[in-house]
Amino acid sequence: MNKNSTLLYASMAFMLTSNVALAQQVITGKVTNGTEPIAGATIMVAGSKEGTSTDAEGNFKLTTNQTSGQLQIKFLGHETKQVNFSANTPIGTIILVPSGEQALDEILVVGRTLLDVAEDRLTPIAVSTIKRDVIEEKVGGQDITAALINTPSVYVTSQAKGFGESSMTTRGFDQSNTAFLLNGQPINGMDNGRVYWSNWNGLSDVASLVQIQRGLGSSKLAISSVGGTVNFITKSTEMQQGGFVKRTVGNDMYRKTTVAYNTGLMKNGLAVSLMLTDWKGDGYMNQTGGAGQTYFLSVGYKVNDKHNLNLMVTGAPQWHMQGYTASLKNFLEKGRKYNDNVSIINGVETNVT
């Protein structure tokens, strides 16, 4: 064997070794609570920024450069679990154990949570968590508050019958006495503490989950939370890569088009989410139509397993008309779609609001 042949074989062996070393490993598995799949659980490779989250069926697929190591599986209200893995070997089903006492879908939380309950709070706080699949099922063309319907101690109603005009009470306290947070940041109005849901039209499309604490906790925020605290959570770093185009239609000519894309958690620790929405509808009551757009941009950075940074820009320019409640006699005489705000001006029906 001459020197040239030896050099050629050595080069080929090096290339094959390099390819094997650089080959990415695929890890698959499923996360459940023992009876039902857990959607939105976080799966991270210990000691790295590689990670993903489970889908609606609790399944996950994680690509890593490591041939072996340990996975960390986390989900709110459950104990963190660590599982060993090896190259291209399915993990199987992972069962997470609740970290606190549970009653039905209620989670009793003591200590610090996403709702920022102080550590010195000794009385258990009743917390309900609404997941992504429930939000999609309940909301439709309504406000994000529709996701909280049937939650204990919560009452949601449409106060002016127009788009974005819903109102919510918690334990009998109105919105000015309930703290509303977006990723832990207050969104209550500066003037009167209320929340105008038409300004947050896009939350139903981007919220990963909604968590509501019912009752006064020792919150560190200087806002009223006598009724409770509601936190809308959107985490770019826990979204899977991919996008969608969705068209929604409903009664009274309601139609909504949504375009969204998520990069997922990239190798550099960054994650970007973008969503654009256009909607329009005539409204159920007479002359209560509306139209608008929603934009959402979120840039996240995963510093480590315990720290995330997130920059979010969102808005919902829109217009809509109102239809305040009239007397029962007027509805019986003029129909259930009667709008007391409508007047005849120059022979044309006009909403005077």
Give the Cα separation of 217 and 211 in Å (integer). Answer: 14
Of 167, 145, 169, give the one whose Cα is nearest residue 155.
Answer: 169
Q: What is the mean pLDDT of residues 335-342?
A: 84
The answer, yes or no, to whether residue 5 has pLDDT greater than 60, is no
Of residues 201 and 104, more confidence is placed in 201
Q: How much is the pLDDT for 352?
A: 67
Look at residue 109 in the predicted model and tell me its pLDDT.
40
Range 125-152 average pLDDT: 81
Each residue's pLDDT tens digit, 18-47: 444 445 788 889 999 888 889 888 998 888
Residue pLDDT, tens place only, 278-301: 999 988 888 888 898 989 888 888
The pLDDT value given to residue 31: 93
d(CA 75, CA 81) in angstroms, rounded, equals 9
> Mean per-residue pLDDT for 192-202?
81
Q: 110 near 124, Cβ under 8 Å?
A: yes
pLDDT for 353 equals 63
Rg (CA), the chain: 25
- Looking at the predicted structure, is the pLDDT value of residue 136 above 70? yes
Asked whether the whole model's pTM tops 0.85, one would answer: no
Q: What is the pLDDT of residues 233-288, one digit of tens each?
A: 876 555 678 888 988 888 889 899 989 888 888 888 888 888 899 999 988 888 88
Per-chain mean pLDDT for the chain? 78
pLDDT band at 95 (very low <50, low <70, confident <90, very high): very high
Query: Considering only CA atoms, which of 258, 250, 285, 287 is closest in space to residue 274?
Result: 258
* Position 330 pLDDT exceeds 90: no
Whole-angstrom CA distances from 7 to 11, 15, 65 are 6, 12, 29
Which class for 308: exposed (0-12), middle (13-18), buried (19 or more C-beta within 10 A)?
middle
3-state secondary structure of 196: coil
Q: What is the set of domains in the chain, with CATH numbers?
A: 23-95 (2.60.40.1120), 102-236 (2.170.130.10), 238-351 (no CATH)
What percent of the chain has pLDDT above 90?
A: 6
- pLDDT value for 94: 93
